[in-house]
Chain A
Amino acid sequence: MSAYSVNISVEAPVENQIQEITYDGQEIYTPPLTMSEHLTKLAQKIDFAKCGPEELNKEITEIDKNEDEAEQSTAPPLWPWDSVRNKLRNALTEVSVLADVLSIAKDKHYMVLDPVPQEPPELKPMVQVYARKKALAGAASVLLSGADRLKNLQAEALRNRTTPDFHIELLRLRQNFRLKKVSNSIVGDLSYRTAGSKFAQNGTFEVTKAEEDGDSPLSPPCSPNASLSNKPTSALRVTVPSELQGVAFIKVFFQKDQDSLTAAQLNLPSSSTANAIPDMYWQPKLEAAQNVLFCKELFNQLAKDAVQLQSPIPHIVVGNQIIASVLPGIQLVIGLCHSGVSTDGKTAVVPPSSNGHDHVLEHSLHQLLRELHHKNTHHPFPHPSSGPIGPSKRRRLAGPCAADREELMQMTQSETMLEQVIKQAQHINLRDRTLFVLDRLAKDIKDPLITSHWNALNSPTQSCVKINIVAHMYDTICRTSLLIHVNETTLKCITRDGRVIHMSYESQELRDFIMCQVYLHQMTAVQNLAKCMGWQCLANSAQLGVGAVEPFGNASSCVLASPTGERLISVRCEPKSGVHVTIAQSPRKDFFPGQLVKERKWENLGGSFKEVRWDKMEGKNFLNKMELLMASLTSS
């Protein structure tokens, strides 16, 4: 070789693993694997489950043989693992192709996967027809059996017409009351909670099926044959809570001031009504229970108000009565009468004298409570709609309109029910008194006729009455009108000339006032009449300052002169003592020239006034008499 070449020795690396290094540095190698051992090792790595069965058997048999046979039998012309390798290589190819196809198909740019249309399975029409027929027959049989059952039920129901079905009854009950199924029982609610009540008492009742055995509790004890009873039986029974059983109502009446407060329980006058509602039909029973609940809530609310309100004369709540003072000397008593309540032996107490029960006030109490309920539920809607529900319109405007503290406080104050009902009671009282006074006056005073027309429309706390004072047959000459507003404790009178007079509830004030008006009317009428007759009014005065002092009002007077001037009439009206009429005539009849007054001409000065005996005067009423007087004086 050349001088520059280097000998390179090529060795295979140490293939055998070092088993042990002896202390003198000698390495002991593990003996290399024999062919069979090598084959075993390689074979263990391959998963032969994926190979074909023939190769599998061949390989297994090859492993089982000893090493010599193994060496010889696994000696096809090529490498023993060739077939395995080929198969693996094919598999790899297939898998790579599949991976490539999938990645290309995923992008959907060049390849898209489409389902291969399947061949529809071949139809065998007759088989289908038979299958459908069988299925329909099955369904038809189910329906027919159901229909048969219903027909039987209906036929049975038709036969027993008298006992209505439980379910139909339940349906009717459900149309009127809210029912709920709680575990095994049906429970209903007869309280006013959904209508806006906030009363805590429970109003639940239970609905059960009425027993149908021999001793049917449905039939009343008076008719022994239970099967045919004339009263309607019910298939369901309602059980009302014990505190709501019976009948209740609110008794409202007035009473004059009594020193001893009757602490007796108010009872219904006829306690037989307690058992009058039979146990059979549920509608009246539930309605009665609902009424009891309503009355209880009403009384509860009134009692709360009575305790909280501070009035000059405090309200008294005793047992089931509330005593409130309406006017000095008159009290309003509101009591809760509940029959069916097991009183402990107090039923023997005689109720106080059967005072007139005021139905109108009871009705307004019911209305007031309903109004309270209504206010609890009907809150005004917000406009615009994004606002909160709850505040009233005034409250919503309070912010932007800068309401001050006073206005806000006013918004929070509202009248309690008891206050409202007391106001109504006061008004009723005052109105009755006014009626009485006016009627009495109309009856007593015959001369000018007093007529009163009450307004048909009025509120629970205000009424109006129009009073006309006319003389009979002289209504065109003069008519005096007054308008009186009757409030709760005051009267307001508006006269035709614009005067407004406020009076208190004392009826004497009204009486005096009307009397004054009557005499003023007489005076005005006389003057009008004089105008008609041609007489002249020389002087008049509505509030006369001469003469005796009147106990009420003032005297009024006028002086009339005849057309020729020869006669004078002077009329003085006093509210207390009536009318005085005096006449005088101008040339004196009784003129005698004396020492002092010598000439005849002095007789022309008018004479003295002489009183007319008015009761002897002809004429139907004062104006008539005046007319006749004037006529007679004119002519003579």
Chain B
Amino acid sequence: MNEMGVTTNSAFLCLFTSASAFGSPIVQMAQQTVNTAIDSLSAALKSNIIPNQEYFLQGSILDSSVEVLLHRLRGLCDNVDTTLETFHDHEMCFSIRGPNNAQPALQLRVRRSLDHNGMPMQLRYIGQPEIGDKSRPTVLRNSIDIGTSNTVVEFLTELGCRKDFEYLAKGYMFRKGRMKITVFKVFKIDETRKMSGGAFESLTALTHSYLVELSVLAPSGQDAIADDMRCFAEQLRPLVQLEKIDYKRLVHGP
């Protein structure tokens, strides 16, 4: 039975019913005797192996100092012998409203890699971030992501989602154990000069700084990783202060 072909569809069903998804542990499931896709999904949910929580910290650094930060990260993170890993991604954010203009709209993000064309596109749902109090070192938010084929944009538009915004992210990626650190610059896309084939000719940087993000994808309940993240963030001070950023406060500011 073509189990994996059902993946994308079942994930969407789940998105609208409860926050859960297929993730990487399909391999373990494939080794057991599996009856149906729904059975394996519920088994995975029960055993709490699906990484659906994201712990993350953010900060920013000016263009002039980003080289220093990159050197420092290369020294601190794993795999010093390999070259710097760069990435060039295009992210589009879609939203769909329930019937009767129900608030809030469901937001979905589609991300594709521009420098690795063969890789599947990533569809992501990010929940509301939980800032918590001083005892929680990082922001915690629900995060479900899944690989999809190239037809996902068409699929979402057929469902009724509208594209809210899109941007380009270009930068570097590092890894330390389970933690992923990205240092990237956000670019605005000039729609009028979009070349055929999806490539972008002109990019304007939004700011003169790089955004630094430290994130870990983990199943719920593994709060110890947040302390490791905080210790790592301490090592990057005073170059960049990685901290919990509350978006709500930014919206309502002067």
Contact = CB atoms under 8 A, between A and B. Distances in A.
Interface of A: 377-379, 381-391, 393, 395-405, 408-409, 411-412
Given A395-B24, A412-B30, A386 B173 contact: no
Nearest to B82: A378
A611 to B, nearest CB: 71
Contact of A408 (B8, B30, B78, B121): B30
Contacts of B24: 388, 390-391, 395
B145 A386 contact: yes
Contact of A399 (B7, B118, B180): B7
Nearest to A403: B4
A372 to B, nearest CB: 16
Contact of A387 (B78, B82, B122, B175): B122
B119 interface: yes
Interface of B: 1-5, 7-8, 22-24, 26-27, 30-31, 51, 78-79, 82, 85, 87, 89, 91, 109, 111-113, 115-116, 118-122, 124, 145-149, 169, 173, 175, 178, 180, 182, 184, 217
A397 B119 contact: yes
Nearest to B149: A400
Contacts of B89: 383-386
B169 A385 contact: yes
Contacts of B113: 383-385
Given A385-B113, A412-B31, 20 more contacts: A377-B79, A379-B175, A381-B173, A384-B111, A384-B113, A385-B173, A386-B109, A386-B124, A388-B217, A389-B180, A393-B119, A397-B120, A399-B22, A399-B120, A400-B120, A401-B149, A404-B3, A408-B26, A409-B30, A409-B31
B217 A383 contact: no
Contacts of A399: 4, 7-8, 22, 26, 120, 146-148
Contacts of A409: 30-31
A405 B23 contact: no
Nearest to A396: B147
Contacts of B120: 396-397, 399-401
A400 B8 contact: yes
A381 B181 CA distance: 11
B3 A405 contact: yes
Contacts of A411: 27
A544 to B, nearest CB: 57
List 5 A-B pairs, minimum CB-CB distance, nearest first: A383-B113, A400-B120, A402-B5, A383-B116, A384-B111
A378 B82 CA distance: 9
Nearest to B116: A383
Nearest to A378: B79
Contacts of B109: 386
A407 to B, nearest CB: 9
A396 B119 contact: yes
A383 B115 contact: yes
Nearest to B115: A383
A375 to B, nearest CB: 12
25 contacts: A378-B79, A381-B85, A381-B87, A384-B89, A384-B121, A384-B122, A385-B113, A385-B180, A386-B124, A388-B23, A388-B51, A389-B178, A389-B180, A389-B217, A396-B119, A397-B147, A399-B146, A400-B8, A400-B148, A402-B2, A404-B2, A405-B30, A408-B27, A411-B27, A412-B27
